[in-house]
């Protein structure tokens, strides 16, 4: 698309101002962003520290509860009578047959215990119950009283309270547990062990010398065989007089309990809790879930890059701070939580800072935009007045626009020419150039007209010459080949037959060369047109084979035709050109094959107007060298110079085949190797019609051939004596009843006075030519209501535009001279099949 000077100039001005404004805006936003980000980071870090402090309250409460339990345990242990405490332990935690000790059901279902009163919701399991000493029993009973009392007292805050021994002993207060602690009270196997798990290992003095409260990674309940509900357990070691008795614990479910911790203060923030080694503890996607499995947790940890975040935190070495996740363009604030080795983490997109900076700079942007717009308007007005409008007037005057305002444009241009600046100089120069161009254009137009006339005359002369040469060559060749064909039907000895055969072959070879030259001339001149007639593919292939069979037999070659069932039928297209392609390929195969066979095959794909016919001509001849294939389909080219010397030929046949295939919507190719023969494949586009198989066509012909026992009556018109002799010889051999006429007038009179099954009409005749004679016969048929008599043109004028003229005049078909018996027989057969079809239609008895 062409842009006007106005568009280019004003567009450039606007673009320049916009670019400068954009650059200024960019650096302004960048400066404001850096300043704003520093302030934001400080506020962000402080806010996260406050939230971490707030969310640490849960773990302070757990720690305080455990410390209170320590004090209560020491008080109770000091007050208990060892024997009485051991007896109570044996009573409520009896030794089982498998060597374990398990709590009685009354401790969970609810009942009164002597030393502490009402107890409920407690379940316990001790793996090696027989090995417990009296001291162990007293300590565990004291811990039981603490668990029962603390669990009930803290139930509004924690749903459970746990005491675990280092030797696989576990006591749990959990009245709301859905499993009712049945696993520990009844189902856990005797070898059930958890001393190797994190909950036990992190409480051992060697692993936790300070006695700190620690929380486990996310895991399932020990009794949860399905493992779908994740939780963390927070434990504090119980140590009395340097002896490690076990640990107090509280389990916290991931789903729900951390809901407040992950609730963000702003919509674009994501709050989470991760461990120091990169394990995810709490996240918004886990807060509302009733169940959370390990697979989902692992996927979510990978998505938020929990391990990468914790690694960056450890690298910083600070308890709180700001880091940036460069991959996802996030700003991350973190702060260590009191109690477990966890971090409270909040992420926000960096775009939040950009948006805030933009809000800050927006008033300044408005001022810049208004100033830029005002500058643009001033520049537009000045540019239009001083430059653009004068140039536009010159463009209208000297451009391509042609409308009714010519005089106005001239006046405006003259006003511009009077200016003394550069635009005035340009206007005057354009005026001088216009005068010179006008003179030059007039001269060129005259020369073009002269050259066009010369070319048209040359083309007309060429066409006339080709038509004349075609006629002049075909007429004597008709006599040569026709009489040779007739002579061949007589009784000849072997030597005579050989001589006649040489005459026939030489004549056909000469005609092939002439036809190739004429066809190539028509292709190059763009005058090659294609017919659109209905033809039967099986008949066409048979005619190609019949035409070449004698030559194949003379060389001892087998010639076969293969037609697939799908391809057999009627088609709308140009059978003449299709036959020409096949004849060229078969003729080439015969030329270069000394032994073996030549196979013709046809297949079809598609339906209706999208039908493609696929053909193959394969031989067992000498083959083609790979380096010769590139020029194989080029006019006047052959495989090599020795080919012309040995086999002859002009090198036009394959070039014409290629042109015809392309004109018919297809292409041609070859596969060959030296000494292995060649296979030419081509496909052309045709329109399939209602299919009539070859077998049905043959039955129709056989029925027609036997429809009458009288000979065929034929009227032939030709002014040339030799041509008449040829026709008489051909018709005599076919057993036809022949009437001859020397011109068109005689032909019309003979037709009026006789009954003929078919008329053979020459074109160029004295007194009345064949075209006028045909029109006269058709007129008289219409006047008398006479059935249509098939008329076939026998002419040396066989160029495409001439054949079209014959058909428009009323002829049914044509046969080009020189006339062969096979071609004439086929044309007569087609004309009779497609002609009047009256009751008197007969066929040759021979």
What is d(CA 536, CA 698) in angstroms, rounded to the nearest whole number? 11
Confidence (pTM): 0.41
Residue 95: predicted pLDDT: 95
Secondary structure of residue 319 in the 3-state scheme: coil
Secondary structure of residue 207 in the 3-state scheme: coil
- C-beta atoms surrounding 623 within 10 Å: 18
Secondary structure of residue 10 in the 3-state scheme: helix
Residue 559: predicted pLDDT: 95
Cβ distance 718 to 828 under 8 Å? no
Cβ distance 178 to 82 under 8 Å? no
If phi over 0 gives left and psi between -120 and 50 gives alpha, with beta otherwise, what is residue 551?
alpha
CA distances from 475 to 375, 561, 796, 817, 824 (A): 88, 33, 6, 6, 16
Residue 256: predicted pLDDT: 54
Greater pLDDT, 623 or 510: 623
**Lowest-pLDDT range of 172-186, 492-506, 562-576, 627-641:** 627-641
8-state DSSP, 193: -
Residue 298: predicted pLDDT: 80
Determine the average pLDDT of the residues in 348-366. Answer: 72
Determine the average pLDDT of the residues in 289-312. Answer: 78
Q: Which residues contact 336 (CB under 8 A, 6 or more apart)?
A: 52, 319, 320, 342, 343, 344
**Lowest-pLDDT range of 178-182, 257-261, 561-565:** 257-261
What is d(CA 758, CA 734) in angstroms, rounded to the nearest whole number? 14
Cβ distance 325 to 332 under 8 Å? yes
Residue 838: predicted pLDDT: 37
pLDDT band at 223 (very low <50, low <70, confident <90, very high): low
Task: Please report, in angstroms and rounded to a whole number, the separation of the first and last CA atoms in the chain.
Answer: 74
Q: What percent of the chain has pLDDT over 90?
A: 36
Residue 323: Cβ-neighbour burial (10 angstroms; 0-12, 13-18, 19+): buried
Determine the average pLDDT of the residues in 538-559. Answer: 91
Determine the average pLDDT of the residues in 466-470. Answer: 68
Query: What is the bridge-based pairing of β-strands 280-282 and 270-275?
Result: antiparallel
Our CA dihedral for 745, 748, 753, 755, rounded to 10 degrees, sits at 150
Cis peptide before 186 (omega within 30 of 0): no
pLDDT band at 296 (very low <50, low <70, confident <90, very high): confident
| Helix ranges restricted to H, 384-421 | 389-398, 406-417
Determine the average pLDDT of the residues in 92-111. Answer: 95
Q: Would the pLDDT of 661 be above 80?
A: yes
Total residue count of the chain as it appears in this document: 846
> What is the CA angle 301-305-308, rounded to 5?
125
Cβ distance 595 to 628 under 8 Å? no
Rg (CA), the chain: 55
Residue 612 backbone dihedrals phi, psi, to 5 degrees: -120, 125
Determine the average pLDDT of the residues in 109-119. Answer: 92
CA distances from 718 to 179, 734, 796, 825, 830 (A): 117, 19, 12, 18, 21
Cβ distance 522 to 800 under 8 Å? yes
280 pairs with which residues across the strands? 274
Over the range 451-480, which residues count as b (16 or more CB within 10 Å of their CB) and which as e? eeeeeeeeeeeebeebbeebbebbbebbbb
Q: Which residues contact 49 (CB under 8 A, 6 or more apart)?
A: 320, 335
Q: Would the pLDDT of 573 be above 70?
A: yes
Tokens of 207: 């692993």
What is d(CA 807, CA 789) in angstroms, rounded to the nearest whole number? 14
pLDDT band at 552 (very low <50, low <70, confident <90, very high): very high
Q: Would the pLDDT of 196 be above 70?
A: yes
Residue 70: predicted pLDDT: 94
Residue 367: Cβ-neighbour burial (10 angstroms; 0-12, 13-18, 19+): exposed
Cis peptide before 465 (omega within 30 of 0): no
Query: What is the bridge-based pairing of β-strands 122-126 and 101-102?
Result: antiparallel
Structural domains of the chain, with CATH: 5-55+353-395 (no CATH), 67-256 (no CATH), 258-349 (3.30.450), 529-700 (3.30.565.10)
**Lowest-pLDDT range of 43-47, 169-173, 514-518, 619-623:** 514-518
Nearest-CA neighbor of 170 among 149, 197, 152?
197
Secondary structure of residue 615 in the 3-state scheme: strand
**Lowest-pLDDT range of 20-24, 362-366, 478-482:** 362-366
Residue 840: predicted pLDDT: 39
Over the range 711-733, which residues count as b (16 or more CB within 10 Å of their CB) and which as e? bbbbbbbbbbeebbebbbbbbee
Greater pLDDT, 783 or 463: 783
**Lowest-pLDDT range of 132-146, 325-339, 692-706:** 692-706
Query: What is the bridge-based pairing of β-strands 320-325 and 330-336?
Result: antiparallel
Arithmetic mean of pLDDT over the chain: 82
Q: Would the pLDDT of 737 be above 80?
A: yes
Query: What is the bridge-based pairing of β-strands 758-761 and 713-717?
Result: parallel
Residue 768: Cβ-neighbour burial (10 angstroms; 0-12, 13-18, 19+): middle
What is d(CA 101, CA 99) in angstroms, rounded to the nearest whole number? 7
Nearest-CA neighbor of 119 among 97, 91, 96, 95?
91
Residue 181: predicted pLDDT: 94
């Amino acid at each position: 698309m062409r842009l006007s000077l106005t568009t280019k100039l004003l567009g450039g001005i606007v673009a320049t101002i916009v670019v400068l404004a954009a650059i200024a805006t960019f650096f302004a936003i960048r400066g404001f962003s850096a300043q704003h980000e520093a302030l934001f980071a400080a506020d962000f870090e402080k806010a996260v520290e406050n939230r971490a402090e707030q969310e640490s309250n849960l773990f302070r409460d757990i720690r305080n509860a455990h410390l209170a339990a320590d004090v209560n345990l020491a008080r109770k242990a000091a007050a208990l009578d060892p024997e009485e405490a051991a007896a109570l332990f044996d009573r409520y935690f009896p030794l089982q047959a498998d060597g374990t000790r398990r709590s009685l059901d009354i401790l969970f279902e609810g009942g009164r215990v002597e030393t502490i009163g009402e107890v409920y919701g407690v379940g316990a399991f001790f793996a090696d119950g027989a090995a417990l000493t009296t001291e162990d029993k007293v300590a565990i009973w004291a811990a039981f009283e603490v668990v029962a009392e603390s669990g009930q007292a803290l139930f509004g805050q924690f749903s459970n309270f746990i005491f675990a021994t280092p030797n696989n002993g576990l006591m749990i207060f959990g009245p709301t547990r859905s499993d009712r602690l049945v696993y520990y009270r009844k189902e856990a196997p005797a070898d059930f062990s958890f001393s190797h798990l994190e909950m036990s290992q992190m409480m051992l003095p060697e692993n936790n010398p300070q006695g700190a409260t620690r929380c486990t990674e996310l895991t399932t309940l020990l009794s949860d065989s399905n493992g779908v509900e994740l939780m963390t357990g927070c434990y504090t070691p119980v140590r009395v007089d340097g002896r490690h008795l076990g640990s107090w614990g509280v389990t916290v479910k991931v789903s729900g309990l951390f809901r407040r911790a992950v609730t963000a203060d702003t919509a674009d923030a994501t709050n989470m809790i991760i461990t120091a080694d990169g394990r995810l503890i709490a996240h918004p996607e886990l807060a509302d879930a009733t169940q959370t499995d390990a697979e989902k947790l692992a996927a979510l940890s990978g998505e938020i890059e929990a391990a990468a975040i914790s690694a960056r935190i450890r690298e910083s070495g600070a308890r709180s701070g700001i880091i940036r996740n460069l991959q996802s363009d996030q700003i991350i604030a973190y702060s260590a939580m009191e109690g477990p080795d966890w971090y409270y983490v909040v992420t926000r997109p960096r775009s939040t800072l950009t948006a805030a900076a933009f809000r800050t700079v927006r008033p300044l942007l408005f001022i810049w935009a208004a100033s830029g717009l005002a500058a643009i308007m001033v520049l537009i007005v000045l540019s239009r007045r001083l430059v653009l409008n004068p140039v536009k007037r010159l463009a209208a005057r000297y451009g391509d626009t042609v409308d009714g305002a010519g005089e106005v444009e001239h006046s405006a241009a003259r006003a511009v020419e009077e200016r003394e600046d550069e635009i005035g100089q340009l206007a005057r120069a354009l005026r001088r150039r216009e005068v010179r161009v006008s003179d030059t254009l007039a001269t060129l137009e005259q020369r073009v007209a002269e050259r066009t006339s010369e070319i048209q005359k040359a083309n007309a002369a060429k066409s006339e010459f080709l038509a004349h040469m075609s006629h002049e060559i075909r007429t004597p060749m008709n006599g040569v080949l026709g009489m040779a064909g007739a002579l061949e039907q007589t009784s000849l000895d072997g030597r005579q037959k050989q001589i006649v055969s040489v005459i026939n072959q030489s004549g056909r070879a000469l005609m092939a060369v002439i036809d190739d030259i004429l066809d190539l001339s028509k292709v190059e001149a763009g005058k090659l047109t294609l017919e659109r007639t209905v033809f039967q593919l099986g008949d066409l292939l048979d005619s190609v084979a019949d035409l070449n069979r004698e030559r194949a037999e003379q060389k001892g070659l087998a010639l076969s035709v293969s037609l697939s069932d799908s391809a057999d039928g009627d088609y709308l297209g140009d059978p003449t050109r299709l036959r020409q392609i096949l004849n060229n390929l078969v003729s080439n195969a015969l030329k270069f094959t000394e032994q073996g066979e030549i196979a013709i095959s046809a297949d079809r794909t598609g339906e209706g107007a999208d039908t493609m016919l696929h053909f193959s001509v394969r031989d067992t001849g000498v083959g083609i060298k790979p380096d010769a294939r590139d020029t194989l389909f080029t006019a006047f080219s052959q495989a090599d110079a020795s080919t012309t010397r040995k086999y002859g030929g002009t090198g036009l046949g394959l070039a014409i085949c290629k042109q015809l295939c392309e004109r018919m919507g297809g292409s041609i190719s070859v596969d060959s190797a030296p000494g292995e023969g060649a296979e030419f494949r081509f496909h052309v586009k045709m329109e399939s019609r209602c299919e009539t198989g070859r077998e049905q066509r043959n039955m129709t012909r056989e029925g027609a051939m036997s429809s009458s026992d009288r000979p065929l009556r034929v009227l032939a018109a030709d002014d040339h004596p030799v041509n008449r002799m040829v026709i008489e010889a051909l018709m005599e051999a076919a057993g036809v009843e022949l009437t001859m006429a020397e011109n068109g007038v005689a032909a019309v009179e003979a037709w009026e006075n006789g009954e003929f099954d078919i008329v053979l009409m020459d074109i160029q005749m004295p007194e009345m030519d064949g075209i006028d004679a045909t029109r006269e016969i058709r007129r008289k048929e219409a006047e008398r209501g006479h059935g249509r008599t098939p008329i076939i043109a026998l002419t040396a004028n066989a160029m495409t535009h001439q054949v079209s003229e014959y058909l428009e005049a009323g002829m049914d078909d044509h046969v080009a001279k020189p006339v062969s018996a096979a071609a004439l027989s086929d044309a007569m057969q087609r004309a009779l099949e497609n002609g009047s079809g009256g009751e008197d239609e007969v066929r040759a008895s021979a």
